[in-house]
A and B are shown apart, each in its own frame.
Chain A
């Protein structure tokens, strides 16, 4: 064609120079796009996706959870952050299991969260665990206690902080056995009709039956039941030696209040309670022996300092969920600092080496490598005699830590032989 020769001529001359310029420009452009990204990510924040139930029957606990993790975030950031970078904890309401799953996925995929933390509802925790495994990211499961999360449904991307059902049952059970209140006694059990409640019922039943007690009543309670009067009638007719609560959140408060309202004479125990639920029951209504993972008057320097700082900031004492979220973020920060990384695989490997963490208790905690459960002390607690409480948060009496100081921390946790966790 006509212009062909001319083109050829141009390509040997100015075209070569133009191509060079174009190439240089392309490289410069790539650098301009790529380099700042690398530079930016160094001073960028470490984003952590935080999910917790802020509404619903666990909503009160979620509120404390957010307060706890926020306090830890501020403290860590004030002292320089993690690896020189600031932490950014994005807290959201998990609402229910399917919403929790959707939000977790969105946090990892779109919002730039590097790891996930949180949750209190066992059913929601399960769905988030699945999201974490699918995306191959670390999920530090803080507040859900169902055994199956560490057992049948375990996965290597999840680490569990709060004590599992088995430990709670054992903590109260030991106390009851010591007081000779299990052998030959009949128990009437009320259990929450969802994953956690079923778990708790199974463990409680096994413990009671295994120590010579009998279960004469076994009623499931839907999680939206607020009125227990019909159950009160059943309890009275059954005349048990002990009434046992396997409920969660608000429902425990309701049961306790209405139990006091009806004035039934049988002693009550429970295998699950959070201090917020206990406070809500009000002085004079709560009685019996219950388990807890921590309480604000725990007599260790770390706990006292934390409680004082929390009261200063919020005007009321921290609930156990505030404490556990606080120490969890601190553990995550420690792991990131020690591994100098935010990569999930490196963090998982670090935790599995079973390093010790200061969780503000008498003994340090560590994550057991084969089920990723934090090994820590638990406590049974009872109620002060009427009139001895200083204020509305002061009517609970913390018992001695279990396991005892000379016993291994793993004593109360599910043994490897019984645990179905395979990673």
Chain B
């Protein structure tokens, strides 16, 4: 009985991890390809949530979830063009500072426009409720979320491994100088990656709005988790982020099962342990730029 319960917590953790993956993957991609630490990633997540609620007011929940990431992705283009672009070849600390500042500005802007009070957000009644698989309970909405994440994941994998676009991006992660020597400009690829990354964060925000509190500081809440996942997974590795996200989800779930008060601290302990034994992260690759 106990084991069954534990297994249920593990499965729930996997679902949660799948959700973290959506945010972390975008962060990891921007990190790996551009060498920039995008601490403003959480701001795009928050914007995604807020915009989806605004759109949902007029066009319904579904439209909100679909259109909001698109809008934020367009914003991402501006972000890349006018801010990130200057920092690709600079010291990583500079992009860290810039995006950190941007995150704070974004949070205050959201507070000024929408107020500090959380916005009410709900999913359509049809998506509420639980789904029983044997003796295991799942939230119907989260299974849907997991399905969306799986789709996105499959799409990204295909993009990276089965297209010429992806080939160049992967090469750019490993040896950007070689890519340049071959006469390929990485610039437009970077713009596309940023668009994709922040779009995914916004999608995460839009999807999570009904089950979390939509308030100006929500970006700060998620960026910590995303960052920890990326660090644990390791730079430059697609599967590393996937593994790390699932691991973080499971570890949190199991910790809450045994020692509820330590739930939030558990992922930091995990990160500490991983870095102790594998300083490059679980599946981190050797990236010339950072060695």
Cβ–Cβ contact A230 & B137, under 8 A = no
A250 at the interface (CB under 8 A from B): yes
Residue with the highest number of chain B CB atoms closer than 10 Å, among A221, A224, A261, A263: A261
B291 at the interface (CB under 8 A from A): no
The listed residue (A59, A262, A282, A319) touching B137 by CB distance below 8 A is A262
Contacts of B15 in A (CB 8 A): 229
A55 at the interface (CB under 8 A from B): yes
A225 at the interface (CB under 8 A from B): yes
CA A278 – CA B256 in complex, angstroms? 26
Of residues 95 through 139 on chain B, the ones whose CB sits less than 8 Å from some CB of chain A are 115-123, 125, 128-130, 137, 139
Known: A226-B213, A257-B210, A263-B129. A60 touches B118 (CB 8 A): yes
A233 at the interface (CB under 8 A from B): yes
- Which B residue sits closest to A219, measured CB to CB? B260
B69 at the interface (CB under 8 A from A): no
CA A230 – CA B14 in complex, angstroms? 11
Stretch at the interface among B5-13, B30-38, B148-156, B183-191: B5-13
Cβ–Cβ contact A236 & B137, under 8 A = yes
The listed residue (A62, A229, A264, A277) touching B116 by CB distance below 8 A is A62
CA A121 – CA B82 in complex, angstroms? 41
Q: How distant is B109 from chain A, measured CB to nearest CB, in Å? A: 14
Cβ–Cβ contact A227 & B117, under 8 A = no
CA A262 – CA B216 in complex, angstroms? 25
B264 at the interface (CB under 8 A from A): yes
Interface size class of A (residues with CB under 8 A): 35 or more
Of residues 275 through 308 on chain A, the ones whose CB sits less than 8 Å from some CB of chain B are 276-277, 279-285
SS of A interface (majority): helix
B44 at the interface (CB under 8 A from A): no
Cβ–Cβ contact A257 & B116, under 8 A = no
The listed residue (B142, B217, B253) touching A59 by CB distance below 8 A is B217
- Which B residue sits closest to A277, measured CB to CB? B118
The listed residue (B5, B119, B140) touching A233 by CB distance below 8 A is B5
A370 at the interface (CB under 8 A from B): no
Cβ–Cβ contact A59 & B120, under 8 A = no
The listed residue (B8, B125, B141, B213) touching A254 by CB distance below 8 A is B213
Cβ–Cβ contact B260 & A257, under 8 A = no
Of residues 244 through 265 on chain B, the ones whose CB sits less than 8 Å from some CB of chain A are 252-253, 256-257, 260-265
CA A284 – CA B210 in complex, angstroms? 12
Contacts of B129 in A (CB 8 A): 262-263
CA A233 – CA B211 in complex, angstroms? 16
The listed residue (B119, B125, B128, B140) touching A280 by CB distance below 8 A is B119
Contacts of B215 in A (CB 8 A): 59-60, 250, 280
CA A261 – CA B128 in complex, angstroms? 5
The listed residue (B9, B118, B122) touching A284 by CB distance below 8 A is B122
Known: A227-B16, A231-B256, A263-B128. A63 touches B115 (CB 8 A): yes
Residue with the highest number of chain A CB atoms closer than 10 Å, among B130, B216, B263: B263
CA A319 – CA B116 in complex, angstroms? 13
B221 at the interface (CB under 8 A from A): yes
Contacts of A56 in B (CB 8 A): 217
B212 at the interface (CB under 8 A from A): yes
CA A212 – CA B194 in complex, angstroms? 59
A258 at the interface (CB under 8 A from B): yes
Cβ–Cβ contact B118 & A233, under 8 A = no
CA A409 – CA B137 in complex, angstroms? 46
Residue with the highest number of chain A CB atoms closer than 10 Å, among B130, B137, B256: B256
A222 at the interface (CB under 8 A from B): yes
The listed residue (A230, A258, A260, A281) touching B253 by CB distance below 8 A is A230
Contacts of B141 in A (CB 8 A): 261
Cβ–Cβ contact B212 & A262, under 8 A = no
- Which A residue sits closest to B260, measured CB to CB? A219
The listed residue (A226, A231, A236) touching B260 by CB distance below 8 A is A231
Cβ–Cβ contact B12 & A282, under 8 A = no
- Which A residue sits closest to B254, measured CB to CB? A230
Contacts of A253 in B (CB 8 A): 118, 213
Q: How distant is A262 from chain B, measured CB to nearest CB, in Å? A: 5
Known: A229-B142, A261-B139. A250 touches B115 (CB 8 A): no
Contacts of A219 in B (CB 8 A): 260
Cβ–Cβ contact A230 & B5, under 8 A = no
The listed residue (B16, B120, B142, B262) touching A281 by CB distance below 8 A is B120
Q: How distant is A60 from chain B, measured CB to nearest CB, in Å? A: 4
The listed residue (A59, A230, A257) touching B257 by CB distance below 8 A is A230
C-beta contact mask, A146-174 vs B, less than 8 Å → 1, else 0? 00000000000000000000000000000
Cβ–Cβ contact A59 & B116, under 8 A = yes
Of residues 347 through 406 on chain A, the ones whose CB sits less than 8 Å from some CB of chain B are 392
Known: A254-B213, A258-B211, A261-B128. A230 touches B118 (CB 8 A): no
Of residues 43 through 61 on chain A, the ones whose CB sits less than 8 Å from some CB of chain B are 54-56, 59-60
Cβ–Cβ contact A262 & B130, under 8 A = yes
CA A261 – CA B121 in complex, angstroms? 12
CA A336 – CA B80 in complex, angstroms? 57
Cβ–Cβ contact A254 & B212, under 8 A = yes
Contacts of A110 in B (CB 8 A): none
Q: How distant is A97 from chain B, measured CB to nearest CB, in Å? A: 18
Cβ–Cβ contact A230 & B217, under 8 A = no
Q: How distant is B237 from chain A, measured CB to nearest CB, in Å? A: 25
Contacts of B16 in A (CB 8 A): 227, 229
Known: A226-B213, A229-B16, A254-B212. A283 touches B142 (CB 8 A): no
Contacts of B253 in A (CB 8 A): 229-230
Cβ–Cβ contact B252 & A230, under 8 A = yes
Contacts of A230 in B (CB 8 A): 9, 12-13, 252-253, 256-257, 263
Q: A233-B5, A250-B118, A263-B130 are in contact. List 10 more A-B contacts (CB 8 A).
A: A55-B217, A60-B117, A64-B117, A222-B262, A224-B264, A226-B221, A257-B211, A257-B212, A261-B210, A284-B125
9 of the cross-chain contacts (CB-CB < 8 Å) are A54-B116, A62-B116, A63-B116, A220-B261, A222-B261, A224-B264, A229-B12, A282-B121, A285-B122
The list of the 4 closest CB pairs from A to B, nearest first, reads A282-B120, A280-B118, A263-B129, A230-B256
